[in-house]
Chains A and B, each alone.
Chain A
């Protein structure tokens, strides 16, 4: 089953605008990760935020985490055409050892940035 669910499914913006996408999940987590996938390629890790963190930045990326609402958001500022990709959140299963190695991915948000 997919624990993380991204919203919206698709997003179309112009260069220079900001893009925001959200991820909701169902069970407790140790950390939440965001990945990017260009069409027909593998995923690339963007950022990892731990359950005791509320916000994290990496370049033009800003990730927030609200464990009380079981949700996270990814903000891409000043978007570029090269940001066109699908973005996925991935969650683990919390503190049980059974969850090790079992990242659950959502269906992703497809972002198109037009020049």
Chain B
């Protein structure tokens, strides 16, 4: 059974700081890994998707890495801004036999203070 853990559960940083969010998973037989952002009471916004054959993906100030063999991923946010405050969720896609399903971590609640 796939399990996804995110560390830390919460993080508070001053504006402008670079930061790293961590995600680990127990079953390395994944198809891809995805990082989402979730604002309070809202749905999921996909930030980055890394295929199992890739090592990293970048979008603007965000960079996500994947080490499938060790079951780890990191999301790096450069020059953080108050608008980055949200919950960040990591999810891995596995095959469940005849279907594909995402397994999520519990998320990291990020607060960026002005």
Q: Do A and B bind each other?
A: no
Question: Which residues does A use to contact B, with CB under 8 Å?
Answer: none
B positions within 8 Å CB-CB of A: none
